[in-house]
Structure 1
Amino acid sequence: MTEINIKLLTKAIGKAIARQRQQKAMTQEEVAEYLNIGMEAVSRMERGIVVPTIVRLAELAQLFDCELTDFLRETSNRPTEQSIILSQQLARLNDTDRKLLLNTMMQLVERLADS
């Protein structure tokens, strides 16, 4: 069984929390108020200093209107999980920008795969 690097996992979850918060255009203060905790606690979660509980992650998922798994998905190195992340990001773009990004990604993958 592979060993889990808790420090890296905590930092990755923190980044995912920050990304979700920013996508909802919320401040740390607004998140803290919703969770009934101090703003410093939110900051510590986002910086990966503390590991949020599953209950806290569920509360954040509800607040950000995302799936609980979205916070963990960003820590995965599995292509299936990574493709879901890319799909979610592509969905935020209009058709023209999505096509442009998809073509760029395909060219980049071809170039890197040949290396």
Structure 2
Amino acid sequence: MPEEEKQLAAVVGRAIAKRRIASHLTQERVAERLGIGVEAMSRIERGLALPTVVRLGELADIFDCDIADLLTETSSRATDQASQLARLLSKLSGPDRTMVLGIVETLTERLEQGRP
């Protein structure tokens, strides 16, 4: 597996594991619903196997999320991270979103000042 594909498999695997845990499901239960073995499920979560698009769709259905969430949730790309922040903020009330935005702005300013 090429290095770029390995990195993608690792990112997707972490997102799948995170969603599974948040859904209070075991690897065994997810594997059963997918019709695969537990070892195959473990390999996906560990980033040793990259799921097909069809399998990503099945996982998204199980976790009640979009396929894109499984591809971008743990991405290090700024645009993917911005989308993740937008999803998180959308769950909050207006005043809470404003508070979080203020915290992020303050933190960003401090981190920028600390750069050489």
Q: CA deviation at 1:102?
A: 4.0
RMSD between superposed Cα atoms in Å: 2.4
Paired residues in the alignment total 113
- The residue identity in structure 1 corresponding to 2:51 is P
Is the 1:15–1:47 contact (alpha carbons within 8 Å) kept by the matching residues of 2?
A: yes
TM-score normalised per structure 1: 0.80
Q: Provide Cα deviations, 1:60-94, integer angstroms capped at 9, x if missing partner.
A: 01111111111111354432321111233345667
For structure 2, the 5+ residue unaligned runs are none
* Cα gap change, 1:4 to 1:49, in 2 (>3 Å): closer
In the TM superposition, what are the counterparts of 1:1-115 in structure 2 within 5 Å? 5-74=4-73, 76-91=75-90, 101-114=100-113, 115=115
Name structure 1 gaps, 5 residues minimum. none
Identity, % of aligned positions? 46
Query: With structure 2 as the length reference, what TM-score do the two structures score?
Result: 0.79
Q: Contact 1:9 / 1:75 at 8 angstroms: preserved in 2?
A: no
